[in-house]
A and B are shown apart, each in its own frame.
Chain A
Amino acid sequence: EAQVTQNPRYLITVTGKKLTVTCSQNMNHEYMSWYRQDPGLGLRQIYYSMNVEVTDKGDVPEGYKVSRKEKRNFPLILESPSPNQTSLYFCASSTGTSGFDEQFFGPGTRLTVL
């Protein structure tokens, strides 16, 4: 089944404790992206990647890191999480080398930073 998977689905952590949210897609998509969703603000793009070893900042990259060492994986790293990073996070992938096409979304990761 074609899908985007994220892990963990739920995470409660404390300020400053490094964490990684994994994202994997099995559709051989070149484009991958991370979003955060907050009430009243819709989805905001954090980082995106057009291909392996190619990443770029979205609208809200501060406090986050990403890497794209393999085509299928695009982990999101929070080196020192803070309470304002409490949010619902989505990973997405798309065909082509841009976001022009339909994006397929993962199920989401609900992160709480205490």
Chain B
Amino acid sequence: SQQGEEDPQALSIQEGENATMNCSYKTSINNLQWYRQNSGRGLVHLILIRSNEREKHSGRLRVTLDTSKKSSSLLITASRAADTASYFCATDANYGQNFVFGPGTRLSVLP
């Protein structure tokens, strides 16, 4: 089945810096979503971008989607210690009925 693969697997930055995470997938999608997970807890939806969109913003988050390269990136600007979490991209399959998550990027923001 298709799968989102995040890159890098782990990222460590200083507070105030920007963090960029990438996601690649294998087959055509209808939409791509990004989620955040704080250690062992439930996932929280961050942003959804549809296949006909190229860029989307939400607060300090900026997501881009390049369907020709089958890739997406999540940029967190002016990071804070509270942004420390794992970030997952999720792509839909089977007309949105079936969702596939990547293994995630672990982000550590150091104070």
- Chain A residue nearest to B88 (CB atoms) is A42
- State whether the Cβ of A73 lies closer than 8 Å to any Cβ in chain B: no
- Which label, helix, strand, loop or mixed, suits the secondary structure of the A interface? strand
In the complex, the answer to whether B101 meets A35 with C-beta atoms within 8 Å is: yes
**Which candidate, A13-21, A74-82, A103-111, is the interface stretch facing chain B?**
A103-111
The answer, among A56, A99, A107, for a CB contact under 8 Å with B96, is A99
Query: Which residues does chain B contribute within 8 Å of A90, judged by CB atoms?
Result: 42-43
- State whether the Cβ of B97 lies closer than 8 Å to any Cβ in chain A: yes
How extensive is the interface on chain A, given as a class? 20 to 34
- Chain B residue nearest to A92 (CB atoms) is B43
The answer, among B43, B44, B96, for a CB contact under 8 Å with A98, is B96
Known: A90-B42, A108-B41. A59 touches B97 (CB 8 A): no
In the complex, the answer to whether A42 meets B40 with C-beta atoms within 8 Å is: no
Contacts between chains A and B (CB distance < 8 A), count: 66
**A33-48: which residues lie under 8 A (CB-CB) from chain B?**
33, 35, 40-45, 48
In the complex, the answer to whether A106 meets B98 with C-beta atoms within 8 Å is: no
**B69-111: which residues lie under 8 A (CB-CB) from chain A?**
88, 90, 92, 95-104
The answer, among B44, B48, B88, B92, for a CB contact under 8 Å with A43, is B88
In the complex, the answer to whether B97 meets A48 with C-beta atoms within 8 Å is: yes
The answer, among B35, B97, B103, B104, for a CB contact under 8 Å with A99, is B97
The answer, among A44, A106, A110, for a CB contact under 8 Å with B42, is A106
Q: Which 7 A-B pairs have the closest CB atoms?
A: A98-B96, A105-B42, A43-B101, A42-B103, A100-B96, A102-B45, A42-B101
- 30 CB contacts below 8 A, A to B, read A35-B101, A41-B103, A42-B88, A42-B101, A42-B102, A42-B104, A43-B90, A43-B101, A44-B101, A45-B100, A59-B100, A92-B43, A98-B95, A98-B97, A99-B92, A99-B97, A99-B98, A99-B99, A100-B31, A100-B92, A100-B96, A103-B43, A103-B45, A104-B45, A105-B42, A105-B44, A107-B41, A107-B42, A108-B41, A108-B42
Q: Which A residues are within 8 Å of any B CB, using their own CB? A: 4, 33, 35, 40-45, 48, 50, 56, 58-59, 88, 90, 92, 98-108, 110
